[in-house]
Amino acid sequence: MERIQALLALEDGRTFPCKSFTGKGETSGEVVFNTSMSGYQEVLTDPSYRGQMVTMTYPLIGNYGVNPEDVESDRIQVAAFLVKEYQEFPSNFRSTESLAVYLKKEGVLGIEGFDTRALTRHIRKAGAMRAYISTYDLEPDSLVEKARAIPGMEGQDLVKEVSTTVPYLWENGKPAPIEKNKIESGSDIWQSRGKKHAVVAFDFGIKYNILRCLENTGCEILVVPAIFSPEQIKSYKPDGIFLSNGPGDPEPLTYAIDTIKELIGFCPMFGICLGNQILGLALGGKTFKLKFGHRGSNQPVKNLLTGKVEITSQNHGFAVDTGSMEGKNIEVTHMNLNDNTFEGFQHREYPLFAVQYHPEASPGPHDAGYLFNNFKEMMSKRHAV
């Protein structure tokens, strides 16, 4: 396979000569790192990575290829994929094609042949930042200027780029379309009312494994666009509302924040990742950008209710400000043990809770999978009243 000379330039002037294993091209975005040792296909297709170029800290990537079962959305979401050493010949019985072929099909640059440890250490020290990659322009000063010209992550609404535009049901592990007249019929949309919990899931960039976990827990799921109004949600008369993960800065998502404000207390609510941040903002809290974010499948989180430590999968660059949640009638339930940032809460009055990390994993450990059952129990109790 031909490798083509390329250059990665960061906005602060640092550059990394490298090579493309997916052909010619150029792209830009915020450069971040992920500490997972496996699960690169799930990383590539996670909508929370929209607008970002992801560096894997594990050095050998591509050794097990890719397959259609491990995707977390309908396309590759990352702006570019940066690895130390690409493994050209995959060896796995589930593999259907190589990583390079997969990236080429969707026009995503794959870069290798540089010190990813140095890049990671630089990001940890200086913070996540804008970057530019090109196989055409190999002039450092020129590429640095291009990196500085792209918009920063703060203030961007990336959710509208990844959210579904039409509602759909999740059935037997995959999306199922709905007839337009049924979408407008309100609560008549549910086929298993009474047998399964009817859950409306806001798609802010939802991962497929979240939907799999909800379905496996005994939920019938209607996935709706991020822009849906409170009136539309109430017309479906759900047993519960789920707020998904998603990319970027939560503060520009005023349409979602205002909607959730009106839905608090309507029925049980569960939020993950961006859903946690939106719920925090809807309750009157604030969010802030982390220096380099939490991305990987080995983040330690303490459950303050049980005293147990969970190893979790995470992918976020923003977090809820713990101090801003004081006086909001909430109880902090989870805390990150690496930096003591806010990782989860529950409300003392309303049936709602949220976590910053990913209990559905994919990739990652399943220590926090119990939260889906907690959501189910919350809906059962509310239904029994």
pLDDT digits over 195-211, tens only? 999 999 999 999 999 99
Is the domain of 284 the same as that of 256?
yes
67 belongs to a structural domain: yes
Q: Which domain covers residue 20, as residue numbers?
A: 4-149
Ranking 88-92, 93-97, 179-183 by mean pLDDT, the lowest is: 179-183
**Closest alpha carbon to 213 in 237, 167, 245, 178:** 245
Given 112, 220, 343, 360, the catalytic residue: 360
Q: How many domains does the chain have?
A: 2
Given 11, 122, 273, 316, the catalytic residue: 273
Does 383 have pLDDT greater than 70? no
- What proportion of the chain, given as a percentage, has pLDDT over 70? 99
The angle at the Cα of 182, spanning 178 to 187, to the nearest 5 degrees, equals 115
pLDDT digits over 68-87, tens only? 999 999 999 999 999 999 99
Both tokens of residue 134?
A: 């090109």
Task: Give residue 382's pLDDT.
Answer: 77
Is the domain of 145 the same as that of 164?
no
Among 149, 173, 198, give the residue marking a domain's end.
149
Report, as an integer, the average pLDDT of 134-142: 98
Is the domain of 111 the same as that of 165?
no
pLDDT digits over 285-341, tens only? 999 999 999 999 999 999 999 999 999 999 999 999 999 999 999 999 999 999 999
In the numeric block, the tokens 């407008």 are attached to 184
Is the domain of 9 the same as that of 114?
yes
Q: Give the CATH number, domain containing residue 54.
A: 3.50.30.20
End-to-end C-alpha distance for the chain, whole angstroms:
64
* Catalytic residue flag (residue 273): yes
For the entire predicted model, the pTM comes to: 0.96
Report, as an integer, the average pLDDT of 213-236: 96
Task: Give residue 6's pLDDT.
Answer: 98
- What burial class does residue 181 get, using C-beta atoms within 10 Å of its C-beta: 0-12 exposed, 13-18 middle, 19+ buried? exposed
Mean pLDDT of the chain: 96
Is the domain of 347 the same as that of 299?
yes
Is the domain of 15 the same as that of 118?
yes
Q: Is the dihedral of CA 95, 120, 127, 301 positive or negative?
A: positive
Comparing 194 with 140, the larger pLDDT belongs to 140
Task: Give residue 182's pLDDT.
Answer: 73
* Catalytic residue flag (residue 358): yes
154 belongs to a structural domain: no
The DSSP secondary-structure symbol of 152 reads: P
- The phi-psi region of residue 82 (left if phi > 0; otherwise alpha if psi is between -120 and 50; otherwise beta) is beta
Cα–Cα distance measured from residue 59 to residue 67, given in angstroms and rounded to the nearest whole number: 21
| Phi, psi at 60, each rounded to 5° | -105, 115
176 belongs to a structural domain: yes
pLDDT digits over 241-254, tens only? 999 999 999 999 99
Task: Give residue 126's pLDDT.
Answer: 97
Cα–Cα distance measured from residue 340 to residue 355, given in angstroms and rounded to the nearest whole number: 14
Both tokens of residue 49?
A: 């990575």
* Catalytic residue flag (residue 18): no
Given 197, 294, 316, 358, the catalytic residue: 358
Q: Is the dihedral of CA 32, 38, 44, 47 positive or negative?
A: negative
- In sequence order, the 6+-apart residues with CB closer than 8 A to the CB of 240 are 197, 198, 199, 200, 219, 267, 268, 269, 270, 375, 378, 379
pLDDT band at 385 (very low <50, low <70, confident <90, very high): low
pLDDT digits over 4-16, tens only? 999 999 999 999 9
- The phi-psi region of residue 319 (left if phi > 0; otherwise alpha if psi is between -120 and 50; otherwise beta) is beta
pLDDT digits over 331-372, tens only? 999 999 999 999 999 999 999 999 999 999 999 999 999 999
Is the domain of 224 the same as that of 261?
yes
State the angle between helix axes of 254-263 and 274-282 in degrees (0 to 180), rounded to the nearest 10.
Answer: 70
